[in-house]
Amino acid sequence: MSKKVKTLLVKLLVLALALVVADLAGGLVLKYLFNKQRSGKYFTTSHAIKDGKEQVLIFGNSHAAQHFDAPLMAKTLSKSVFNFGNQGQSLLYTYPLVKSVLSRYQPELIILNLDYNELRYDPTDYERLAILLPYYHANSVIDSTISLIPDRAALKAKSHLYRYNSTLGYIFLNTYGHSYGKSMQSLGYDPIEGDMCTATASHVEADSGKITFDKNKIDYLIKLISYIQSKQVKLLITTTPLMEYDSNKKQVYKEKLLQLLTKMNVNYLDYGSSAEFKGKCKLFHDTSHLNATGAALWTKTLLNDLPKYFDQF
């Protein structure tokens, strides 16, 4: 081997080591800043994976985050409560969170909110799992879920910097200017104001029109229910109110969900098409999300119904 080749190889080795050190050092700095967040979607995710130990837990997408008034629940039940709902997320996200929680302790009650079309295949649900990248190697179930993210994200996550490269805005927003919503003060609850009677807010749910079930979601739901039951933790599945309900569009998904829940003998509280809420514009921020007033009414309805399923509540 010539001297020039040896010199080149040494330079390449030094460069590779420098890149590894830079990646590790940069990742450690970002991880430190990341863990200082006190509100937002990453804060509630971290609380579930690392240190949450409340008695009553709520999981789901934005309908969980914005419909379950956790402080009201805590006050009424005289129990510790936390709302782990996160906007845009699905069962693919909820599954590793619940598994992470139950690996640490046994809560009294888990409320899992599911939309009628929760079992629908939607490729964006896999892309949104990028929220878990900062928790790479937190535990095996987190890593297995990260492997579902498209574009070889699991391989890219070996880079410490890559795990945090989309979190910088959230880090500064939720460390130095954190909000009430999705914080310890709100117990994870993320209220929204404004109603459809006085505003033009609208919500259009993306739908390809084709009926396609997601095998991973079905598998995750079955495993999740079985795991919660094996831990002897009380479980209630809910569907929160909708202002408008297109029964033709969602009926196939709803029937599959009901079939699965019935087979697994799960308590299910269904208010998706409730006349108490349907068409009541003052209770909704848009056609899909309750405002703070509607969330308080829904939460009171839930609390009144809990004794039907669980004696001590």
Phi, psi dihedrals of residue 267, rounded to the nearest 5° = -70, 130
CATH number where 177 lies: 3.40.50.1110
Q: Specify the amino acid at residue 247.
A: S
Token pair recorded at residue 263: 């087979």
Identify whether 280 is part of a domain.
Answer: yes
Catalogue the E-assigned strands of the chain: 56-59, 81-83, 109-113, 234-239, 267-270
**Could you tell me how many residues make up the chain?**
313
| Cα–Cα nearest to 125, from 35, 61, 185, 182 | 61
Compute and round to an integer the Cα radius of gyration of the chain: 22
Q: Per the structure, how many domains does the chain have? A: 1
Identify whether 304 is part of a domain.
Answer: yes
Token pair recorded at residue 40: 């937002």
The strand order across the sheet containing 56-59 reads: 81-83, 56-59, 109-113, 234-239, 267-270
From first to last of the 313 residues of the chain, give the pLDDT tens digit.
677 766 666 666 776 677 777 778 888 888 999 999 999 999 999 999 999 999 999 999 999 999 999 999 999 999 999 999 999 999 999 999 999 999 999 999 999 999 999 999 999 999 999 999 999 999 999 999 999 999 999 999 999 999 998 898 888 888 887 789 999 999 999 999 999 887 654 454 555 568 899 999 999 999 999 999 999 999 999 999 988 766 666 789 999 999 999 999 999 999 998 888 888 899 999 988 999 999 999 999 999 999 988 887 7
Identify whether 12 is part of a domain.
Answer: no
Task: Please check whether residue 154 is in contact with residue 129, taking contact to mean a CB–CB distance below 8 angstroms.
Answer: no
Identify whether 10 is part of a domain.
Answer: no
Identify whether 77 is part of a domain.
Answer: yes
Token pair recorded at residue 123: 């490729």
